[in-house]
Amino acid sequence: MQASDIRKVAVVGAGLMGHGIALELAANGYEVHLHDLTEEVLDRAVENIHEGLDRMVEYGMLTEKDADDAPDRLWIGTDLEGMVGNVDLVIEAAVEDVDVKRKVFAELGRLAPAHAILASNTSSFKPSLYATESGRPDKVIVAHYANPAFLVPLVEIVPGPETSDETMGVTVNFMESLGKKALVAKKEVPGFILNRLQTALLREAMWLVDNDVADPEDIDTALKYGTGRRWAFAGVFEVFELAGWDVVERIFKEVGPSLAASGEVPDALKARVERGDFGAKTGRGFYESNEEWVEETRSRIAYGMAGTERLWSEWAGRERQTD
């Protein structure tokens, strides 16, 4: 199979990530079968898809006609067999629980066509933890989108030890055909690339809070107005390549020994989970996150991602003209 042979895609799980993945696929002209366990979740997903399409029009990423046409390619349902029985690619976006994923992949292996690739949107679980259950581990791979799935241009591709070269090649080519940047891991490790980097940063941020060096708002300010802006256009190795590795070595000698290195859950995080302060879903975490705060923050992220993508496109255009 080649990427061009993919015509129908099923997305299993219609929550935060699943609806965004389905949105992008439908906007790119694919027939999309969106599955979840309840009609309530699916109805909410359809509402979110319409809102997302409106955002893409607002940000100049879609024409109004393309946005109007996209929902016509979307099929929703609670019958898993009906949703995956005739597709070429399945993207699993169920809850982040390895036991759930094992059950889902066992069902996908039984119900999806023999030629179909079975991809997981997991953000941390290695494919080898659930690939065998499918009965076709050569066709199992991770395709990890970042949130918002329809705005962030990156998809992390992670093979398991039995993933075939064909599955890898088709998945990468398909994602690139959607306009995505495929980040390919050479091998599976817990958390892959993105979440290992994010978790390392979060661990240090939590240490600064636990040790009363800074408040959460201060750390977010440092990233939003400093490091984060730079990293949107140049990665950590590029930035420090410019600075000079001799300088970096001196900084590392001074700062490195004091950096957080514990594998334990940070106290600031543990305390909030024990209190049931889970963040926006409960209205409190490190912030008081009422509906207004949630909407403002999500809108700011979406606008920023769309704006960054436009700037990237403009820069790429400049490079092509120079060449």
- Ranges of each domain in the chain: 3-184, 194-289
What pLDDT does residue 319 have? Answer: 53
Beta strands in the chain (DSSP E): 8-12, 31-35, 74-77, 89-92, 117-120, 140-145, 154-159, 181-184
Q: Identical fold at 3-184 and 194-289?
A: no
Of residues 137 and 300, the one with the higher pLDDT is: 137
The pLDDT score that the predictor gives to residue 301 is 85
Query: H-type helices in 142-193, by residue range?
Result: 165-177
- Say whether pLDDT at 322 is over 70: no
Given this model, what pLDDT does residue 163 score? 98
Report the relative pairing of strands 117-120 and 89-92 from DSSP bridges.
parallel
119 Cβ contact list (under 8 Å, min separation 6): 89, 90, 91, 92, 140, 141, 142, 143, 171
Model confidence at 117, pLDDT cuts 50, 70, 90, reads very high
- Domain 3-184: CATH superfamily, name plus number: NAD(P)-binding Rossmann-like Domain (3.40.50.720)
- Dihedral, CA of residue 254, residue 260, residue 262 and residue 268, to nearest 10: 160
* 59: pLDDT strictly greater than 90: no
Cα distances (Å, whole numbers) of residue 164 to 35, 140, 308: 27, 9, 34
Q: Which pLDDT band, with edges at 50, 70 and 90, does 316 fall under?
A: low
Q: What is the pTM of this model?
A: 0.89
Give the whole-angstrom CA distance, residue 220 versus residue 91. 32
Reply yes or no: is the peptide bond before residue 161 cis, omega within 30 of 0.
no
Lowest model confidence (mean pLDDT) among 4-8, 98-102, 165-169, 301-305:
301-305
Contact 24/178 with Cβ under 8 angstroms?
yes
Q: Which CATH number fits domain 194-289: 3.40.50.720, 2.60.120.200, 1.10.1040.10, 3.40.640.10?
A: 1.10.1040.10
Predicted confidence band of residue 194 (pLDDT cuts 50, 70, 90): very high
H runs (alpha helix) in 59-183 = 64-69, 80-84, 98-111, 165-177
| Arithmetic mean of pLDDT, 184-189 | 96
Mean pLDDT for the chain overall:
93
Of 93-102, 209-218, 227-236, the poorest mean pLDDT is in 227-236
Burial class of residue 116, CB neighbours in 10 A (0-12, 13-18, 19+):
buried
Could you tell me the CA-to-CA distances from 151 to 139, 211, 310 in Å, in that order?
27, 35, 11
Tokens 């015509």, residue located? 7
- 27 pLDDT band, cuts 50/70/90, is very high
Rg of the Cα trace of the chain?
21
- Taking 90 as the threshold, does the pLDDT of residue 118 lie above it? yes
Q: Express each pLDDT in 106-116 by its tens digit.
A: 999 999 999 99
pLDDT over threshold 80, residue 321: no
For 58, which DSSP code? H
Q: What single string gives the DSSP state of each residue in 39-53? A: HHHHHHHHHHHHHHH
Tell me the mean pLDDT in the region 51-75: 92
pLDDT digit string, tens, across residues 202-211 = 999 999 999 9
Q: What is the pLDDT of residues 234-248, one digit of tens each?
A: 999 999 999 999 999
Instruction: Tell me what pLDDT residue 303 has.
Output: 82
Segment (H or E) for 297: helix 291-322
